[in-house]
Every structure is written in structure tokens, then in C-alpha cells.
Amino acid sequence: MNGARMSTLASLRGSIERMETHGDVHGPDRVALGHRSADEMLRGGLALAAVHEVFAEGHQGAAATGFIAGIAGRIAPRKPLVWVRQDFAEIESGALSPGGLAELGLDPRLLVTVRAADVEAALRTTADALACDALGAVVLETFGEARQLDLVASRKLTLAAQASGVTALLLRVAAQPAPSTAETRWIVRAAHSPPAAPWSAWGAPVFDAQLVRNRHGPVGRWIMEWKCDECQFSEPASYPQPVAAIPAHRPHQAAARAGHRLAS
């Protein structure tokens, strides 16, 4: 049994090495994120028909969810999206907000959510969904460490995505990265939003996005602002910091006013 497993792992490692060496000969189709520096690092954007991973610490789950929703909207704005959620992920993170997803470029009418009892069921459902070439993308969301999401499972998802042309997005909250066949791997945190307009209660969503794996190039880290109207990421615009007004009741201010009155 051990010999068979070692042979399987050796075969998978060889396949992965061949993919990384020759996988970009014909140049995969890509979709730009909109953020100039990140797109340059990614050779034009995220590769389609591939697996991409987004990781977040437990308290950064909302930021990672928003980031992956923005990516999904960029990949397939007019195609159905299947979002597979492990039961425990929904318990920990809460239900997805249709209004929030719409702000991030997803049409809630094209979204199909599936709750899976455990990681095994979530993996099976994701693989089945990836086989449907009518979809734009499939999101697999899990919470915590999951030994089932190993190199073999990643390889199966990659092959399914390549066969159908459907992109797989893995949202991993409160988990540590492990070896995989993912095209890219991101670690996402929330970043400070710029001051909002007086009539708006909230600023634009801003993400601290760190690319820690890029099969076809270097890695990097950027602050990405989501433009709701354009439905794309961008480099945050510079804005002046608010400056506190000088209090009028300070002694030197009072003296100055008194001198002004005497002079007049």
C-alpha cells in the first residue's frame, strides 16, 4: 500500500513539474483585475480555467470573501456562479449578502449557493460543478484546516477546471497554505478605506492583497481598492488627510484678536 501511494505521489509531482515547465507555452486566457501593478505581475491578469486560492486568518474572513467575490465578478460577470460552502463555514462567517455581492460585481440572480455537510461533500460538489461548462466560475469555501484538501484533491480540481474551462476559486479561512497545483495563492486582509463623501456612510472596499504564489512569475503585495461603478480593482487614489482646525480659544489666538481690535 505504501509503495502504491509513493508511486502515485511521484507521478503527481512529475505531472505538476511538467505543468509548471510547459503550462504557459500557448498562453492561458486571462482576465485583468484592473490593478495595473498586479496585472503586470500576473502577465495580464488571472488565468482562466485554473485554480486560484485565497487564504485569510479567521478574523479576516469577510475581507477574503469580498476579494474572492470581486475576482469571481471579473471572471464571469454574465455567467452563473456556483458557491459551495462547508456547513461550518456558514456557521462561523454567516450567510452571504446578496446586496454586498452585487456591490462587488456579482449578479445575485446568477448565484447558486450550495451548503455541504463536510469537506468531502464540498469537494465532490465542487468537482461536479466544474464539469459544467455553462458556469463562469465555482467557489469552494471551507473553514479551518482540512486534510482532505491535499495535493491530490488540488490536482483533481485543476484537471476538472482545465477540461471544462471553468475557473475554480478556493476560499480558505483560518487555514494554513499547503502544497497544491493552484495557479496563484493570495493572503488577503482588510485595509483602511479612504474618507467617504459626506452623503455616503461607507468608504470604498480596500484590500491588502499579498500574492504568495505565482506559477508564471514573481510575487508581490498591493493595496487594492474596489471600484463599485467600474466593477474592478484599482490602485487607491491619493487623498489629503484631514487637518484639525486650530482652536480659537487658545491664549495666543485671543491675544492676536485683541491686538487686531486695538489696531483698528
Contacts of 121 (CB under 8 A, 6+ apart): none
- Least confident interval from 122-126, 139-143, 233-237, 258-262: 258-262
d(CA 80, CA 138): 9
- Least confident interval from 34-38, 91-95, 246-250: 246-250
Residue 222 maps to a domain: yes
Number of domains in the chain: 1
Residue 83 maps to a domain: yes
Residue 16 maps to a domain: no
Residue 1 maps to a domain: no
User: Domain span at residue 107?
Assistant: 27-263
Residue 104 maps to a domain: yes
**CATH classification of the domain holding 126:** 3.40.50.300
Decide if pLDDT at 193 tops 50.
yes
Pairing of strands 46-47, 30-31: antiparallel
Residue 250: the pLDDT is 44
Decide if pLDDT at 247 tops 60.
no
d(CA 106, CA 103): 7
Residue 156 maps to a domain: yes
Query: Mean pLDDT score of the chain, rounded to an integer?
Result: 85
Which bin fits 234, alpha (ψ -120 to 50), beta or left (φ > 0)?
A: beta
In Å, how far are 72, 141, 215, 251 from 52, measured between CA atoms? 11, 12, 11, 61
Tell me the pTM: 0.80
Segment 145-186, tens digit of pLDDT: 999 999 999 999 999 999 999 999 999 999 999 999 999 999
Segment 56-65, tens digit of pLDDT: 998 999 999 9
Segment 108-152, tens digit of pLDDT: 999 999 999 999 999 999 999 999 999 999 999 999 999 999 999
d(CA 151, CA 9): 9
d(CA 32, CA 74): 8
Residue 241: the pLDDT is 45
What do you get for the CA distance between the two ends of the chain, in Å? 100
Residue 22 maps to a domain: no
Residue 2 maps to a domain: no
Share of the chain above pLDDT 70, in %: 77
The CA-based dihedral angle spanning residues 202, 205, 206, 211, taken in that order and rounded to the nearest 10 degrees: 160
